[in-house]
Amino acid sequence: MATERFAFPDDERTPNNPIPARVYRAALPADANAQAQHFAGHGWTNSWQDGVHPYDHFHTTAHEVLGVARGEATLTLGGERGTSVTVRAGDVIVLPAGTGHKNDGSSEDFLVVGAYAHGLEWDTCRPGDLDLHEARARIQAVPTPDLDPVSGLPWADTE
C-alpha cells in the first residue's frame, strides 16, 4: 500500500497542522460499513457517510479520517494554496486537525466514510470564520491519536 504525505504551512487563513496529511492508496475494501468498522477498531469513531464539502474548510476539534467507499474525486488539501489529490474507492485520507480540505469535483457516486480519533465531536470552520489564534489554540488541544486508522500501529510509529 502506497502512502503519500503532505505537509502544509499555516497560510494565515487555514491553520493546517505540523503533522502531515496522509493519503493511503488502495488501503481498504470499497465498502462503507467495512471501512467504518475498520476505523472503529483502531479508535476512530463517531462515523458518518456522505461526500466532502465543495468549499475550503477545516476542523479545529478533531483529527479526521476519510475512507473513499465509492467513486472518485479531486480534493484540494491544505487550503486555498494547497495541493490537488485525486482519490478513488479504497483510498484513505488522514487529516490532522486544522488541515484544509475541499471537493473540487467528484463522480456522482462519490461516497466517503468519515470518522474521528477518540470519537471526538468535530466543528466545521471556513477560512476567515474564526480568529486564527483561537483556531490554533483549539488545534493544539486536540489529543494525539492512539493508533493509525489504517494500519492500527501506534500513531507515534507512523509519523
Please give the residue range of the domain that contains residue 78. Answer: 3-142
Domain count, the chain: 1
Give a yes or no: residue 89 inside a domain: yes
**Count of beta carbons in the 10 Å neighbourhood of residue 7:** 12
For 119, which DSSP code? Answer: T
CATH number for the domain harbouring residue 20: 2.60.120.10
Give a yes or no: residue 55 inside a domain: yes
Give a yes or no: residue 157 inside a domain: no
Give 159's pLDDT tier (boundaries 50, 70, 90): low
Q: What is the pLDDT of residues 27-61, one digit of tens each?
A: 999 999 999 999 999 999 999 999 999 999 999 99
Phi, psi (rounded to 5 degrees) for 140: -65, -25
Give a yes or no: residue 52 inside a domain: yes
Q: What is the pLDDT of residues 65-91, one digit of tens each?
A: 999 999 999 999 999 999 999 999 999
Assign 133 to helix, strand or coil: helix
